[in-house]
Amino acid sequence: MTNKSRRQLLKLGALVSLIGTTVTGCRINGLLKTPTPTEVKGPFYPVEDQKDKDFDLTRIDGREGVADGKHIIILGHITDIENKPVADAAIEIWQANARGRYNHPLDRNPQQLDQNFQGWAIIASEEDGSFRFKTVMPGAYPASESWTRPPHIHFKVSKPGYTTLITQMYFPGEQLNKTDLLLSHKNALERPQMIAKPVSDEKEIAVYEYNIVLAEI
């Protein structure tokens, strides 16, 4: 990690502390937690490597501009089913830009690419299982003539000893959540696990909480 990236990460952590956010897992009545539901990887998993894959997707190293759209922070914890933190898990994140376009050769969406949007990140959970990253609110986009995908972020979480998780995180209050063909196929217990919770919607930046539960092999 460069000194610039380290300073940005510290600044991001200070912002979250200023908001007063405390993200914790939960174990209800001694019951084990349910692993986060899986989802398809989708057709736009990154295939072309890039140098900058750090926690701040709103900037690209070496460029002065910032990504278009509403900037947001996603934070949470990675735990196992007993609510024990999972440290040093590899977390891959990829998503569409604010216009609903992926930086992927197979994406035929006519919307413009954003040259200042990183689009893909690989980060690691901390000792307490926590993670955070900064990005933009992804745009909705047409998956077919009759299906528009709601804003969502893809996750791939892996660590030796645990089953690799591929899932998608959705945002609360989105009307398209109700008609999404993927999310609607989840049951009433699974859907809430895949929808982030709003922590703060300050004028400057919105913060969402998304906790992930891994299953041991």
Q: Is 141 one of the annotated active-site residues of the chain?
A: yes
Give, as one character, the DSSP assignment of residue 1. -
Query: Which candidate in 71, 104, 132, 141 is catalytic?
Result: 141
On whether the CB atoms of residues 67 and 117 are closer than 8 A, the answer is yes
Backbone angles phi, psi at 41, to 5 degrees: -65, -30
Q: What is the DSSP string of 155-213?
A: EEEE-TTB--EEEEEE-TT-GGGGG-TTGGGS-TTHHHHTB-EEEEE-SS-EEEE--EE
Q: Is 210 one of the annotated active-site residues of the chain?
A: no
Query: Which candidate in 71, 77, 149, 170 is catalytic?
Result: 149
> Three-class SS of residue 108?
coil
Which has the closest alpha carbon to 139: 67, 40, 197?
A: 67
Q: Is 71 one of the annotated active-site residues of the chain?
A: no
Query: Which candidate in 59, 77, 101, 102 is catalytic?
Result: 102
**Residues annotated catalytic, as ranges:** 102, 141, 149, 152, 154
